[in-house]
Structure 1
């Protein structure tokens, strides 16, 4: 499984299972990639629906390019090495692409990690 080819893509499509409905919900979101782990930052923190869905059901699907993958998501432990890595990777990737100052967003958002398990299609 070679997902490194997507490292420069602008976004991915994250599908979570609705915590109430049980239906799949898909969002377009920025991401950074380290090996087989995607890092996302939730500006809405725990209030974001997709984060609440992940907290209840961590099994997700993510579309990178034209490929669909399964993975397991988790909230990154605050003040951990992974926390610093997630923030740094996402901010570094998107700062040159954005006209906004992303410093505060990268500092205050909730980092989410998705470990990719296998390709679906």
Structure 2
């Protein structure tokens, strides 16, 4: 599916404004992946919920998101929760009902996903430490 103009505008705003600000907030949840081309760490602010040793979230653009493509290349990630970094392994769950999953996640974190999401994809990170 080709990106719509709305998708391109949303991605531009997130990459160049919202994510840059959110990364600076000390208690913002951050996902760190390894760039599939550069091999460099890439951080993405996101929302979700920790349940035991798992962290659940929904990607609004699914496999069109750069961080999802990075996970596909290397599922080993780091996740910053409440200011502390944890190692983990990310799992893409295309068969999970992302709409139902979002009802289990914090509402304020899912506003953007609900508003702009066009290719929802559930992701679970199994936390190692």
TM over 0.5, yes or no?
A: yes
Segments ≥4 residues shifted beyond 2 Å? 83-88, 100-108
RMSD: 2.6
Structure 1 residue matching 2:37: 3-state secondary structure: coil
When residues 77 and 108 of structure 1 are mapped into structure 2, their CA distance, relative to the original with a 3 A threshold, is closer
Partner of residue 102 from structure 2, selected from 73, 87, 100 = 87
Cα 1:20/1:64, change in 2 over 3 Å: same
Deviation at 1:11, TM superposition (A): 4.2
What is the Cα deviation at residue 101 of structure 1?
8.9
Using the TM superposition, give the Cα deviation of residue 86 of structure 1 relative to its aligned residue in structure 2, in angstroms. Answer: 3.3
Query: Does residue 52 in structure 1 map to residue 52 in structure 2?
Result: no
Instruction: Write the mapping of 1:1-121 to structure 2, written as runs, cut at 5 A.
Output: 11-79=28-96, 86-90=101-105, 93-94=106-107, 97=108, 109-118=120-129
Output the TM-score relative to the length of structure 2. Answer: 0.66
Contact 2:54 2:124 in 1 (8 A): yes
- Distance (whole Å) between structure 1 residues aligned to residue 82 and residue 100 of structure 2: 24
Greater percentage in helix: 2
Deviation at 1:105, TM superposition (A): 6.3
Structure 1 range deviating more: 21-30 or 105-114: 105-114
Unaligned runs of 5+ in 2: 1-26
Please state whether the residue corresponding to 1:30 is helix, strand or coil.
Answer: coil
Could you say if the C-alpha distance between residues 33 and 105 of structure 1 is closer, same or farther in structure 2, counting changes exceeding 3 Å? farther
Q: Secondary structure at the match of 2:104?
A: helix
Q: Which has the higher strand share?
A: 1
Unpaired runs of at least 5, structure 1 = 1-9
